[in-house]
Amino acid sequence: MRLSDIKILFQQELSELYSKSEIEELFSIFAGHLLNLNKIELRHNLEKNLSESDSKQFSEYISELKTGKPFQQILGETEFYGMKFFVNEYVLIPRPETEELLELAIGKIHLDRVREPQPDNPTTLQLSNSLVKILDIGTGSGIIPIVLKKHFPEAEVTAIDISEDALEVAKKNAEFHKTEINFLKKDYLNEVFDSVQTDNEVFDVIISNPPYIGIEENPEIEDSVKGFEPNLALFSPTSDALIFYRKIAQDCKNHLAENGFLFLEINQKLGKETLELYKNGFSEVELLKDISGNDRMIFGRK
Ligand SMILES: C[S@@+](CC[C@H](N)C(=O)[O-])C[C@H]1O[C@@H](n2cnc3c(N)ncnc32)[C@H](O)[C@@H]1O
């Protein structure tokens, strides 16, 4: 079988599920992955004869794609913030909106870090001289703490998740990227700051992309998302879609340092309601849009 035959097979077999351009993209992703070729090289190798094992592997990819399974889960990996991360059915597939959240965080922390102390701006976070403590709530595949640790190697980074299976993926990713992160299995809504060890803990940066889809939004979520990604990562556990945000606002009172930073990814439909929760107790708080113009992030400075 030649690569061009596989390309035709992709179009024939997947046309009920995907558009022509999506299939082109999927072909490039899978062929690129299996044969280690970029898009231009693929075009030049279309008439290449494939080995039997590669042909068989392509057929397996097509069978899995036909079930609607996301390509990242089929490959077992994805790219996020220019880095490779392992994923499986126990973790949310990292989204571009979370890259924007990290860009914001890295920009803010970095700016304040390199800036000289400003006598007229006493709220500047002085990250360079002391140990910086960062907490990520609901870490999933570990993308947030790993990217932050790469940018701020001197920081002490803690990441929590309720899912043991997700933490396993996060630890594998941290090991792959040679980052040391303190991963803890915790139910944020019930035990994190109630336990003895963390009771007095204060963080300089709290960051989170918690589950934020309300139960009533369930019918609007695509089957490919609901059927393959963990509901635990997507949906609020109660009818209150803001339950995590309420607890984070409450916890910031005792567990976010003075002048500390808060970064949150939010439900685009609940921008104003979410912002309202952070109106008190912060010297600065902003609701920010993502690249598509949707309310997507909250930045707060205590
Ligand atoms: C929207 S996902 C975000 C994953 C990752 N941070 C990202 O941005 O791709 C939310 C994560 O919160 C975790 N989670 C859900 N309920 C939790 C709870 N009560 N305590 C801690 N983590 C929880 C889920 O397991 C999931 O990994």
pLDDT one-digit tens code per residue, 43-52: 998 998 999 9
Only one residue has tokens 């995907």, namely 18
pTM of the model: 0.92
**For residue 194, pLDDT beyond 80:** no
Phi, psi of 55 (to 5 degrees): -60, -40
Per-residue confidence band for 113, with pLDDT thresholds at 50, 70 and 90: low
Q: Work out which ligand 1 atom sits closest to the CA atom of 140.
A: 27
Query: To test ligand 1's pocket by mutation, which of 162, 245, 267 has the most ligand atoms within 8 angstroms of CB?
Result: 162
Amino acid 141 reads S
Residue percentage of the chain with pLDDT more than 90: 79
Q: What is the pLDDT of residues 10-44, one digit of tens each?
A: 999 999 999 999 999 999 999 999 999 998 999 99
Mean pLDDT of the residues in the chain? 91
Q: Which amino acid is at 89?
A: E
Q: Is 90 exceeded by the pLDDT of residue 97?
A: yes
Q: Specify the pLDDT at position 216.
A: 83
Helix (H, G, I), strand (E, B) or coil at 78: strand
Query: Using a 6 Å cutoff on CB, does residue 208 contact ligand 1?
Result: no
Ligand 1 midpoint to CA 152 (Å): 22
User: Which pLDDT score is estimated for 217?
Assistant: 86
Q: pLDDT band at 129, cuts 50/70/90?
A: very low
CA angle 151, 153, 157 (to 5 degrees): 95
Ligand 1 close to Cβ of residue 209 (< 6 A): yes
Cα Dmax for the chain: 70
